[in-house]
Structure 1
């Protein structure tokens, strides 16, 4: 499937060259496109960069693309997922749960807590159509009690407050610097997250709040990714149409497919992009390609 996509794209590239483009330039385009139709580079359409990037950066009038620039999206907004992309826990959740629960008599192992947590989190919660409502306490109380077997409200409140603090999370390496440069370049930015209202405090503690024009959490808009409503709310908060925004997140269903369904572009964290410096570069070159590999 990728071979046909790249083949078609090479034709678009050729048609976009100015009529006076040299035969050498056209040959290089064809050679680069042909190399993409086989071998390991087929695993990601990002491998097409050697083809399109020199053309989009071309300053020589004889070689400047014509139709291709009409084809490019013009990104004005960046949407960023929080947990798993911008932020990650500063220590394993099972160890944190157990540290608090042992004070109240829990004698499970870290592996048992982890297994119970996953089972509880992945089981549909019947109390609401979405997991996080307001501060998320009802849902998280259910998860904590199921994970630890401890039903102490005091223990829950201690653990809940632990995850409301910024020092319980790590910011992706280089994210702050890259986001600052992205904003300085004129892009509008928003956090879009399936989270409860604690996210506001977390971002403030980590000195991230000033890097975003909007923070959109599922608990406040009453819609969770992949529901397009949450992406539409983020675009509206930025004052931009979805087609001018690109979303970055680590979950194929929630982030990639959800953003696409709303009309946004999307890059899958850990596959299409690996760092925020790479996000910055792709914004600058208007590289809109996302993951084309099949879902497992």
Structure 2
């Protein structure tokens, strides 16, 4: 009975938000490469019985009292925005013009739409990066009527709609060039340069690794291009699973592929709704990238693995 009570307290803790009292939240609206980033200071979230103010060290000690030195049997990682980030062109520098986007939390998206405009110029695209960003946000937020899923197979119908709405250009050659660009290692890079070393240490310690991502079928070839596909024991992609985060189905599928129970897994992602709420709805632990944890080495240490 004592163990059941303790587990109930832990579940309540996990249901009441992050362990951190504040930080930078990086959230992605799209996985095509047109990443819409947002920054927000996470409020202090308090739960029942004082668990909301539990610090990182207290949380780790508490979890170990339940599960032992290694707190989780599996680590699930979000792809775009956590494992991978778009390689924005920085040649233009941070001018006063760009400071507006920095202040509003959309600088990275603004720089990424530089690609939309640059490739699109030869196809007649004349909108500025800011205009493309605003049109993208409006289009992405609209209900997608053709399917309950945005990312079906290679996601082409959805992304054709988004690109056309964002740029005002429906030229098929333009779309294909842009679409192909975001499938290459030129468009993406690994967020954490120490990721490989950390994941090797986790696997050596017996922790299974999986990716859980709202992405189309380009994710697997993209991971191969970045030479990180072999780091993981399983990959759950929404286009293949036919469920998108925050639907708990995709997290449960990842756990099933790894052969672990949801309560034995922790998910790390950059979006509070999709990653944190979704994972917890599935019964997994969840940490917000950029707020609860800031590097994969910190993730490993929180699990109980020294790198």
* TM-score of the superposed pair, with normalisation by structure 1: 0.74
Does structure 1 retain, via aligned residues, the 8 Å contact 2:70–2:303? no
> Would you say the 8 A contact 1:193–1:217 is kept in 2?
yes
- Compare relative contact order (CA 8 Å, sep 6+) and give the higher one, 1 or 2: 2
RMSD of aligned Cα (Å)? 2.7
**1:293 aligns to what?**
none
Aligned to 1:190, the other structure's residue is in SS state strand
Greater share of helix residues, 1 or 2? Answer: 1
Paired residue for 2:77, among 75, 80, 85? 80
SS class of match (2:280): helix
Corresponding position: 1:272 with 2:292:
yes
Structure 1 CA distance, aligned partners of 2:180 and 2:301?
A: 37
Cα displacement (A) at 1:166: 2.1
- The aligned residue for residue 165 of structure 2 is 146
Deviation at 1:175, TM superposition (A): 1.7
Q: Secondary structure at the match of 1:246?
A: strand
SS of equivalent residue, structure 1 residue 240? coil
Q: Is the 8 A contact 1:46 1:272 kept in 2?
A: no
Structure of greater Rg: 1
Map 1:195-206; keep pairs closer than 5 Å.
195-206=215-226
Q: Is the partner of 1:75 in helix, strand or coil?
A: coil
Deviations 1:40-62 (A, max 9, x none): xx9476863455667999xxxxx
**Cα 1:253/1:98, change in 2 over 3 Å:** same
Query: TM-score, normalising length from structure 2?
Result: 0.72
Mark the runs of 5 or more structure 2 residues left unpaired by the alignment: 1-5, 10-20, 22-42, 46-51, 89-110
1: CA distance, partners of 2:59 / 2:144: 46
In the alignment, structure 1 residue 234 sits paired with structure 2 residue 254 = yes
Partner of 1:127: 146
Whole-angstrom CA distance in 2 between matches of 1:181 and 1:70: 19
Any gaps of 5 or more consecutive residues in structure 1? 1-8, 13-37, 58-67, 286-296
- What SS does structure 1 have at the residue aligned with 2:286? strand
